[in-house]
């Protein structure tokens, strides 16, 4: 469905993603994991053409027979929302502060070619209900009248409004408390099962990966170190970096051992980490 081949992202100063290969299948939840700065968000941004202007992307991001890296600005605008949409850690950024949620959702549909006012309202209410919000009230609310968890749900509603086939969720729960985060992940999973949408989930936190992700790819300093079925990778990580990430998961009880043994003497050599240059 989405296939990334030989993706390299660089600025004049540095290469932040190096020859990345991965594919997201229809309907699956794919986790792209790795610690801060490993290049996950840059990869996610490249898919929608959202890279900072000082960076260029090379390679292929194949989607429905097109290389997304070669789309025109107009083609990209039509793709975003309609076929591929995003939710981000900073859910406040999804909405303009002083416009009601309803008018912002309405405008999004209007801009994407839905002229019928009643049909727009109906779809907005439907999608707000789908993310389990009190739809009519939220439709009339300003962003600042909602809690963080409600606002992230509204951002998910905005992302789903035009019925995309791929949802890119870039650290969507980092700014939420644990319980709210858990509920948001459950909601995304429920939506995935109901709609068949694929989820590309960017995360530095492996705690929830086992529960939600079908497959996982682990990145380190711009390169892929390991990928496969989630259970196989987490139960039998082949790369020391993956073992280190797993060992960093806080144990459930204060005196419980870490999830997997990890030797601090285990060196991560450039060859094993997949680093180039």
Ligand X SMILES: Nc1ncnc2c1ncn2[C@@H]1O[C@H](COP(=O)(O)OP(=O)(O)OP(=O)(O)O)[C@@H](O)[C@H]1O
Please say which residue, 52 or 115, places its beta carbon nearer to ligand X. Answer: 52
191: closest CA among 160, 220, 150?
160
> From the CB of 272, what's the least distance to ligand X, in Å?
19
Sequence-ordered alpha helix ranges (H) in the chain: 40-47, 73-82, 101-111, 117-130, 135-140, 148-160, 178-195, 209-212, 230-235, 240-247, 270-273
Q: By CB under 6 A, is residue 81 in contact with ligand X?
A: no
Q: By CB under 6 A, is residue 37 in contact with ligand X?
A: yes
Show contacts with ligand X in window 51-80 (CB under 6 A).
52
Give burial (CB, 10 Å; 0-12/13-18/19+) of 36: exposed
Give the pair of three-digit tokens for residue 256: 């419980």
Please say which residue, 101 or 200, places its beta carbon nearer to ligand X. Answer: 200
Give the pair of three-digit tokens for residue 226: 């390991």
- How many chain residues interact with ligand X (CB under 6 A)? 12
Q: By CB under 6 A, is residue 42 in contact with ligand X?
A: yes
| Contact pick of 20, 22, 40, 246 for ligand X (by CB under 6 A) | 40
| Contact pick of 18, 20, 24, 38 for ligand X (by CB under 6 A) | 38
Give the pair of three-digit tokens for residue 88: 């981000």
8 Å CB contact between 218 and 245: yes
Please say which residue, 106 or 171, places its beta carbon nearer to ligand X. Answer: 171
40-48, 72-80, 91-99, 243-251 -> range binding ligand X (CB under 6 A): 40-48
Show contacts with ligand X in window 162-181 (CB under 6 A).
171
How far apart CA 236 and CA 234 sit, in angstroms, is 6
Q: By CB under 6 A, is residue 39 in contact with ligand X?
A: yes
How far apart CA 246 and CA 227 sit, in angstroms, is 14
Please say which residue, 45 or 152, places its beta carbon nearer to ligand X. Answer: 45
Q: By CB under 6 A, is residue 277 in contact with ligand X?
A: no
* Strand partners of residue 228: 216
Q: By CB under 6 A, is residue 204 in contact with ligand X?
A: yes
Nearest to ligand X by Cβ — which residue? 41
How far apart CA 160 and CA 218 sit, in angstroms, is 27
> From the CB of 203, what's the least distance to ligand X, in Å?
8
39-47, 80-88, 148-156, 226-234 -> range binding ligand X (CB under 6 A): 39-47
Q: By CB under 6 A, is residue 10 in contact with ligand X?
A: no
Q: What is the largest CA-CA distance in the chain?
A: 64
Strand ranges of the sheet holding 29-33, from the earlier edge strand across to the other edge = 84-88, 166-170, 198-203, 29-33, 215-220, 223-229
Give residues in contact with ligand X (CB under 6 A): 16, 34, 36-42, 52, 171, 204
């Amino acid at each position: 469905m989405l296939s990334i081949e030989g993706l390299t992202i660089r600025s004049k100063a540095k290469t932040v993603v190096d020859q990345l290969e991965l594919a997201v299948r229809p309907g699956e939840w794919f986790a792209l994991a790795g610690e801060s700065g490993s290049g996950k968000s840059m990869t996610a941004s490249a898919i929608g053409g959202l890279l900072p202007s000082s960076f260029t992307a090379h390679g292929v991001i194949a989607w429905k027979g097109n290389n997304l890296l070669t789309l025109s600005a107009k083609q990209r605008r039509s793709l975003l929302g309609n076929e591929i949409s995003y939710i981000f850690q900073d859910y406040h950024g999804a909405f303009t502060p002083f416009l009601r949620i309803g008018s912002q959702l309405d405008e999004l549909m209007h801009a994407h070619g839905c002229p019928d006012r009643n049909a727009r309202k109906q779809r907005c209410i439907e999608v707000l209900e789908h993310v389990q919000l009190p739809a009519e009230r939220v439709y009339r609310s300003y962003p600042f009248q909602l809690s963080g968890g409600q606002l992230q749900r509204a951002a998910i509603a905005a992302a789903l409004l035009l019925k995309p086939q791929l949802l890119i969720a870039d650290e969507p729960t980092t700014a939420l408390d644990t319980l709210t985060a858990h509920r948001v992940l459950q909601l995304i999973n429920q939506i995935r099962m109901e709609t068949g949408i694929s989820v590309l989930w960017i995360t530095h936190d492996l705690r929830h990966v086992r529960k939600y992700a079908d497959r996982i790819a682990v990145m380190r300093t711009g390169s892929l170190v390991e990928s496969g079925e989630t259970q196989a990778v987490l139960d039998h990580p082949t790369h020391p970096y993956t073992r280190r990430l797993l060992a960093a998961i806080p144990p459930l009880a204060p005196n419980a051992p870490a999830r997997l043994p990890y030797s601090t003497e285990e060196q991560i050599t450039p060859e094993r980490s997949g680093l180039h240059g």
